[in-house]
Amino acid sequence: MKIIMLGAPGAGKGTQAKMIAEKYSIPHVSTGDIFRANIKDQTELGMEAKKYMDQGLLVPDELTVKILLDRVAKDDCKNGYVLDGFPRTIPQAEVLDEAISGNKDGILTDSSDASKPAGSPDTEVGGGIDFAINVDVKDENIVKRMSGRRACLKCGATYHIEHIPPKKEGICDKCGSELVLRDDDKPETVQKRLNVYHEQTQPLIDYYNKKGILKEVDGSQDMKDVFSAIVAILGE
């Protein structure tokens, strides 16, 4: 099963993607997490990405597409994945479609696609993507969520100081590392990220709607209720 999570920054894509990954035993692939891991390790990619992330801007498509395609070509993605934070622009969505439906240049090694009969839904609908789930939350709620978000830069877990607090304040439940307010979650950057979202990412809702794979969920509910709505879409 190949799933894309759509929604504004802070809508709860990552929170739900992790739960989906666990229930359906597929990897959670977050381009934001990949960039943050590279920033932490001070790689060349990380240093380049940081310039954009700190300003609330998108990392250029050339860079982002390459890291995403490298990641989904790995063995653990053979039976599907849940993409969180990718695509964020129409060109990114088009490259993804071409890479996974056309299997051009052998970018993906997943042989199951090639063995499917021509015209089967998995090769024609949404370029191999089964579901694009839009987690819908109003901008006013987003700002509150982002200022309360605390992230573990070691294992990628996220919390919210009010709604989803860690057991011990400031410490990750999963790995015991210190939790931080991400630089790009500071209020001055959040508004800019929302503007970027409306301009460059929101058009993807229409893009996947036209392909017939868009599913909407109300992301302003409690996280368990959001997840139940998603499971109702994906199936038990």
* Binding residue (CB under 6 A) for ligand ADP from 2, 3, 7, 215: 7
User: Are 48 and 192 in contact, with CB atoms under 8 Å apart?
Assistant: no
Pick the stretch among 4-12, 58-66, 116-124, 202-210 that binds ligand ADP (CB under 6 A).
Answer: 4-12
Query: How far is it, in rounded angstroms, from Cα 220 to Cα 12?
Result: 9
What is the H or E stretch that residue 42 is in?
A: none
Say whether residue 159 binds ligand AMP (CB under 6 A): no
Query: How far is it, in rounded angstroms, from Cα 93 to Cα 87?
Result: 5
Task: Give 20 or 213: the residue with its C-beta nearer to ligand ADP.
Answer: 20
Place of tokens 């410490």: 171
Q: Which does 149 bind (CB under 5 to 8 A by kind): ligand AMP, ligand ADP, none?
A: ligand ADP
119 φψ region: left (φ > 0), alpha (ψ -120 to 50), beta (else): left
Active site residue 88: yes
* Binding residue (CB under 6 A) for ligand AMP from 7, 12, 32, 80: 32
* Strand blocks (E) in the chain: 2-6, 28-30, 81-84, 131-136, 149-152, 158-160, 179-180, 214-218
135-174 positions binding ligand ADP, by CB under 6 A: 145, 148-149, 158-160, 163-164
* Binding residue (CB under 6 A) for ligand AMP from 85, 127, 128, 219: 85
Say whether residue 12 binds ligand ADP (CB under 6 A): yes
Please, what is the Cα angle at 82 between 109 and 13, to 5 degrees?
155
Positions in the binding site for ligand AMP (CB under 6 A): 9, 31-32, 35, 52-53, 57-59, 64, 85-88, 92, 184, 193
Positions in the binding site for ligand ADP (CB under 6 A): 7, 9-15, 145, 148-149, 158-160, 163-164, 222-223, 226
